Amino acid sequence: MTTHTVTITNRNGATFEVNSRRPLLGQLRDQGVDLPYGCEYGGCITCAAKLTKGEIDQRRQVALNNRQIEHGYVILCVARATSDITLEIGVESHDKLYRNPFLDPLQPHELKADIASPKV
Amino acid sequence: MKCCGPGYASPAEAVKAPSEKLLYTIAIYTGTGIQKPDYLATVDVDPDSPTYSRVIHRLEMPGIGDELHHMGWNACSSCFDDAGMSRKYLILPGVRSNNLHIVDTATDPRAPRLHKVIDGAEIKAKTNLSGPHTVHCLGSEIIISFLGDAKGEAPGGYLHLNKEFEIQGRWENSMGDIKFGYDFWYQPRHNVMVSSEWAAPNTFMPGFDLEEVGHLKYGRELHFWDFEKREPVESFYLGEDGLLPLEVKFHHDPDSTHGFCGAALSTNVIHWWKNGDTWLWEKIIDIENEMHPDWPIPLPGVMSAILISMDDKYLYLNNWLHGDMRQYDIRDPHNPKLTGQVFLGGLLGKAPTVNGVEVAGGPQMFQLSLDGKRLYVTTSLFSTWDNQFYPEIRTKGGVMVMIDCDPVNGGMKIAEDFIIDFGKEPNGPSRCHEARYPGGDCTSDIWL
Ligand code: FES
């Protein structure tokens, strides 16, 4: 089975081995990483982390808009690693996750995937 | 009169009840970065007590990440004639975990204890519901609105529990054409229930994308139900006047057909009533958007809650983003009159500090004493929404403030001897939300 290495920068660069079949949340929790989570189906954003290197597959998530994805956010309860990856986890990684919509509106292509229009 | 189940014989009797000495509020760590369970805080509100204006007990939930939010009683004044019933258990749903926590507040009211947890996964498996919100006792049973199906898609439905807290299945016979769920209130003498609309859990849980309102991902309708048949019979499309219709309240007087809803984003109060056989609605309060000096988009008040005093004389509302609480005389429900206003927190910078505490957030949930004189106000709305609008709440936590209200001539003033700074909680800054009194309050009881 293919395994990949997950490096967590805000846990002193600790590394963990994961497979590409199961979502990251469960695999990291099983190895003792304390991570916030809620719905576990990709809808509530509680488990969001920031991907700073590598590739993941998170097609099943419905919580993130395209701007958040652009900023590197991944939904750990549905995301699978498809290469070695580097993550920042927990609320400490959420600096760009939240924005005041009256101060900083989204462009049409930055909405969630189901309603976004193509980038022009 | 037969004596005595829980609550009071009538709203007029409730007004005369002794003053509250304790209140319960939930406090969350979900979304704060602190990996601790959410909890139920007991607050001492007896001015003669040495621990007045302090948290005197904390009951932690068994798990992390529930996002406690609203809560409700196992029994209320609708069981007043039933001596076999007692108001003993508070039901605390976790919006994110789907767990329902049943808390015994009667054995030791100062130190509530956990009685039972109904597992969120079991609720999903048996009823296909997630995202619990409003809890109401319906006499011999309990129903809870859920905003989504097991996958977080709207409209959800209603969970039916018996008084032993066993899952009975879905309460409603049909959701009709309802697109979203949120709050509900019923008025049994008129065989009516009214429900409102927020959004699907998958839409509101990650935070508020204003742009999604225009894509019809947030509600703008009110629904009138045949309460006995358990199905919706009529819907009002409120349009731009009713974006995000959230809290629903009828008059406490069980004969009245007048009711009110706060449309959060439009920041309007919608009033309905029955004329002959016809339900009618109108907008009675419209709070103007304000311009923030540095921002491109006008700022709505965001009226996330409303409350009717037990004597049906005053309506209270909040503007979470503007930062004010208001009191309106609604003796003529078609023509409300503004009689009181105070600022605490908010984004307009009008009251950054209250009683020496820096306020992160704005007035959000509130509970009024039965005599109408003391209004307890908290500042956090929902973890992800707090994080968007008031990011400093992460380090400052929520606060609870008390407002002295004049139930005779109108008027509001922040009490100077009361404030609870949840930024100083033992496990770090938490955020308080809905509050309830052991004996029933202005948002819990319904009379048959
Ligand atoms: S736990 Fe809800 S999105 Fe991952």
CA dihedral over B338, B344, B348, B352, signed as positive or negative: positive
Q: Residue A111: pLDDT above 80? A: yes
Partners of residue A65 in chain B, C-beta under 8 Å: 209
Which residue is associated with the tokens 């609320």? A91
Ligand 1 neighbours, Cβ below 6 Å, are: A 37-40, 42-47, 63, 75, 77
Q: Residue B1: pLDDT above 90? A: no
- What's the pLDDT tens digit per position in A75-91? 999 999 999 999 999 99
Which residue is associated with the tokens 């590394």? A15
- Peptide bond just before B155 cis, omega within 30 deg: yes
Q: Which residue of A has its CA nearest to B68?
A: A38
Partners of residue A41 in chain B, C-beta under 8 Å: 151-152
Question: What are residue B340's DSSP bridge partners?
Answer: B327
- Per-chain mean pLDDT for chain B: 96
Q: How far apart are CA B127 and CA B171, in angstroms?
A: 10
Strands of B192-195's sheet in order across: B184-187, B192-195, B221-226, B231-237
Q: How far apart are CA B19 and CA B1, in angstroms?
A: 24
Instruction: Tell me if A98 and B210 make a contact (CB, 8 A cut-off).
Output: no
**Residue among B205, B207, B210 whose CB faces A43 most closely:** B205
- What's the pLDDT tens digit per position in B394-441? 999 999 999 999 999 999 999 999 999 999 999 999 999 999 998 889
Arithmetic mean of pLDDT, B301-306: 98
Is A119 a member of any domain?
A: no
Q: How many CB pairs under 8 A join A and B?
A: 100
Is A120 a member of any domain?
A: no
Is A49 a member of any domain?
A: yes
Residue A50's φ and ψ, nearest 5 degrees, are -110, 125
* For ligand 1, atom 3: residue with the closest CA: A42
Q: Best residue in A25, A102, A103 to probe B by mutation, most B CBs within 10 Å?
A: A102
Supply the range of the domain harboring residue A80. Answer: 3-110
CA-nearest of B56, B53, B28, B29 to B42 is: B56
Residues 6+ apart with CB under 8 A from A95: none
Q: Residue B294: pLDDT above 90? A: no
Is A116 a member of any domain?
A: no
The total domain count for chain A is: 1
Question: What are residue A5's DSSP bridge partners?
Answer: A17
Q: How far apart are CA B367 and CA A101, in angstroms?
A: 29
What pTM did the predictor assign?
Answer: 0.96
User: Is B77 within 8 Å of chain A by CB?
Assistant: no
Q: Residue B176: pLDDT above 80? A: yes
| Nearest atom in ligand 1 to A38's CA | 1
Arithmetic mean of pLDDT, A109-119: 94
Q: Residue B293: pLDDT above 90? A: no
Q: How far apart are CA B69 and CA B67, in angstroms?
A: 6
- What's the pLDDT tens digit per position in A12-65? 999 999 999 999 999 999 999 999 999 899 999 999 999 999 999 999 999 999
Is A75 a member of any domain?
A: yes
Is A60 a member of any domain?
A: yes
Residue B207: predicted pLDDT: 96
Arithmetic mean of pLDDT, B214-234: 97
Q: Residue B385: pLDDT above 60? A: yes
Which residue is associated with the tokens 């709305």? B381
Domains (range + CATH), chain B: 128-430 (2.130.10.10)
Q: How far apart are CA B263 and CA B58, in angstroms?
A: 33
Residues 6+ apart with CB under 8 A from A56: A24, A74, A79, A80, A81, A82, A85
Is A22 a member of any domain?
A: yes
Residue B429 Cα, ligand 1 centroid: separation in angstroms?
23
Q: How far apart are CA B20 and CA B5, in angstroms?
A: 19
Three-state secondary structure string covering chain A: CCEEEEEEHHHCCEEEEEECCCCHHHHHHHCCCCCCCCCCCCCCCCCEEEEEECCEECCCCCCCEHHHHHCCEEECCCCEECCCEEEECCHHHHHHCCCCCCCCCCCHHHCECCCCCCCC
CA-nearest of B132, B138, B224 to B178 is: B224
- What's the pLDDT tens digit per position in B5-37? 788 889 999 999 999 999 999 999 999 999 999
Residue A86: predicted pLDDT: 98
**Token pair for residue B141?**
């049973």
| Nearest atom in ligand 1 to A40's CA | 1
**Residue among A98, A101, A112 whose CB faces B384 most closely:** A98
Distances (CA, A) of B399 to B55, B354, B355, B413: 12, 10, 11, 17
Q: Determine how β-strand B89-93 pairs with β-strand B353-354.
A: unpaired
Q: Best residue in A29, A44, A104 to probe B by mutation, most B CBs within 10 Å?
A: A44
What element of type H or E holds B76?
none
**Residue among A46, A64, A100 whose CB faces B388 most closely:** A100
Residues in chain B, total: 448
User: Is B206 within 8 Å of chain A by CB?
Assistant: yes
Question: Environment class of residue A120 by beta-carbon count within 10 Å: exposed (0-12), middle (13-18) or buried (19+)?
Answer: exposed
Q: Which residues of B340-360 are buried (b: 16+ CB within 10 A; e: fewer)?
A: bebbbbbbbeebeebbebebb
Residue B3: predicted pLDDT: 63
Residue B66: CB atoms within 10 Å: 28
Partners of residue A64 in chain B, C-beta under 8 Å: 206
**Residue among B32, B67, B298 whose CB faces A91 most closely:** B32
Q: Tell me what percent of the residues of chain A surpass a pLDDT of 90.
A: 91
Give the gap in angstroms from C-alpha A120 to the nearest C-alpha of chain B: 18
DSSP three-state, residue B395 = helix
First to last CA, chain A: 41
Q: How far apart are CA B114 and CA B366, in angstroms?
A: 24
Partners of residue B388 in chain A, C-beta under 8 Å: 98-101
**Longest Cα–Cα distance in chain B:** 62
Choice between A120 and B115, residue whose per-residue pLDDT is larger: B115
Residues 6+ apart with CB under 8 A from B39: B26, B27, B58, B59, B60, B61, B68, B430
Give the gap in angstroms from C-alpha B34 to the nearest C-alpha of chain A: 9
Q: Which residue of B has its CA nearest to A93?
A: B33
Q: Which residue of B has its CA nearest to A68?
A: B206
Q: Residue A9: pLDDT above 60? A: yes
Residue B108: predicted pLDDT: 97
Residue A57's φ and ψ, nearest 5 degrees, are -115, 115
Query: Domain containing A73 — which CATH number?
Result: 3.10.20.30
What element of type H or E holds B399?
strand B399-405
- HSE of B335 in the Cβ direction (CA atoms, 13 Å)? 1
pLDDT band at B279 (very low <50, low <70, confident <90, very high): very high
Identify residue B20 by its one-letter amino acid code.
E
Residue B78: predicted pLDDT: 84
